[in-house]
Structure 1
Amino acid sequence: MTLTLLHTSPVHIPVFDALRDVDHPGLDLRHVVREELLVRAGVEGPAAVTDEVRSLLEDAARDGADAVLCTCSSIGAVAEGLADTVGVPVLRVDRPMAARAVAAGSRITVVATVRSTFGPTVALVEEEAERAGRAVDVRTVFVDGAWERFLAGDRDGYLDLVALALDGIAGADAIVLAQASLTDAADRTGTGIPVLSSPRPGLDAAAAEYARARTA
């Protein structure tokens, strides 16, 4: 029995392996990386990669996955929406984070370094707010120039730019880091606003789904 993680960058593999080792030792993770999905989603929109994502999910199910966790916020809604067609639970990594943001207050700022992430993430926060019966004011902050550093392999420069952007945010009850790659920026900011990231709560939710499959 396996939990398959669908990534659009290989940098996420050690992050989730480390979380597994601390929080869910013994959990069998299988990583699938398709960087081209994020590139295409950024140019043509997330819906453009629907067929490719469906094929990957079907492959995961055939290979024995009991659940799939999509760690890319840009295509998470696409993956989640295909769950009924592939026969295994499909979770998006950022849904638990969005629920926590809504619980924190009505003023939520979403931070991203890839513009294609804003639409799905804002929509998710608003969906969770509706589910909770709360009104939210969602604002966005784009960290200009950061993604170029990420692609160049300058992780410190990337995180420092994001942390600088976090330092400048005011008037928010919660800050949502819209991409898993932003997680460690929370350790570099001096803001007093709660900064929420997706990997740990997302993996927790997927591990719970995996456990249900094991006992079914």
Structure 2
Amino acid sequence: MTHHQSNPLISLISATPVAIPPATGAFHEVFPEARLWNLLDDRLLDDATAQGGVTEGLAERMTRLIRHAETEGADGILLTCSMYGPIAERLAAELSIPIHAPDASAFKAALSGGYQRIVLLASARGPLEDALERFSAAAASAGQDISVTGIVAEGAAAAAADADTERLSRALEAACRDQEDSDAVLLAQYSLSPAAEALAAALDKPVLAGPKLAAATLRSQLLGNPTSATTPKKENA
């Protein structure tokens, strides 16, 4: 199925420019064989925010980008904006190539890691509510009863936009201050993921971020090899 067995062409479809560096960075680290092709409609996220969510018109706009990537020879597709994830899931059965919602692999890791209490972090209310709804649905369909606390990390959006990883990590850490009893943190947006490792070190608990886990999933699907990105498992409490 893959046109370029050893160097698959992966289309990263983004709804905001801030999601691109974390996604490309993750692929360079976890799936270096991939050739990356960025497709960006930099109004998709703003328009979804302004319209109170992903309307049918916006879903069609994203669908056209996905079809374009498939038609023009992509071997795999990753959406980098969580709010558009459901469209990847809706189209998966119709496409001839693998397509992934941004946080499908992170949700899977969160549900398979033996965690009881997860903190879900986002940089704004809209993405947080969207991620809470989708993660709760994923947990319910997996028959898992996980306690999830959603928090908007103040200052995280500005730090991510400035690509200031240190400030981003501090903002995320501050948001987790009263959550000592949680056993994992799940990041709701790709723009937060550059701070994942620093946050994990500061909190001394697993931090699940979408980009590396998604890159690892695509690599294993297209190349069939084990990857260097391991799913963090809960340590003995």
Q: Normalising by structure 1, what TM-score? A: 0.84
User: Percent identical across equivalent pairs?
Assistant: 25
Contact 2:117 2:184 survives alignment (8 Å)? yes
Q: After TM superposition, give the deviation of residue 152 of structure 1 in Å.
A: 5.3
The answer to whether the Cα contact below 8 Å between 1:72 and 1:93 also exists between their aligned partners in 2 is yes
Segments of structure 2 that go 5 or more residues without pairing to the other structure are 4-8, 225-237
Q: Shift in Å at residue 135 of structure 1? A: 1.0
CA 18–152 in structure 1, closer or farther in 2 if over 3 Å, else same? closer
What is the aligned partner in structure 1 of residue 221 from structure 2? 209
Q: Which residue of 2 aligns with 1:183?
A: 193
* Structure 1 counterpart SS, 2:75: strand
CA deviations over 1:60-85 (Å, ceiling 9, x no partner): 11111122111111211223223344
Q: Determine the structure 2 residue equivalent to 1:7.
A: 14
* Partners of 2:88 and 2:99 within 8 A in 1: yes
Indicate yes or no: 2:134 matched with 1:97: no
Give the 3 Å change call, closer, same or farther, for CA 163–8 of structure 1 in structure 2.
Answer: farther
In structure 2, the residue matched to 1:59 is 68
Q: 1:173 to 1:156 in 2, by over 3 A?
A: closer
Give the match for residue 45 of structure 2. Answer: 38
Corresponding position of 2:29 = 22
Deviates more, 1:53-62 or 1:5-14: 5-14
| Secondary structure of residue in 2 paired with 1:74 | helix
Preserved CA contact (<8 Å) 1:67 1:90: yes
72-81 vs 157-166, greater mean Cα deviation: 157-166
The whole-number CA distance in structure 1 between the counterparts of 2:164 and 2:132 is 27
* Pairwise CA RMSD: 2.4
TM-score (norm 2): 0.78
Paired residue secondary structure (1:109): strand
- 1:198 match: 210
Equivalenced residues, count: 212
Post-superposition offset of 1:157? 3.2
Q: Aligned equivalents of 1:14 and 1:43: distance in 2?
A: 24
- Distance between the aligned counterparts of 1:12 and 1:165, measured in 2? 21
Displacement of 1:51 in angstroms is 1.0
Which one-letter code corresponds to 2:30 in the other structure?
D
**1:67-106 equivalent positions in 2, closer than 5 A:** 67-102=76-111, 103-106=113-116
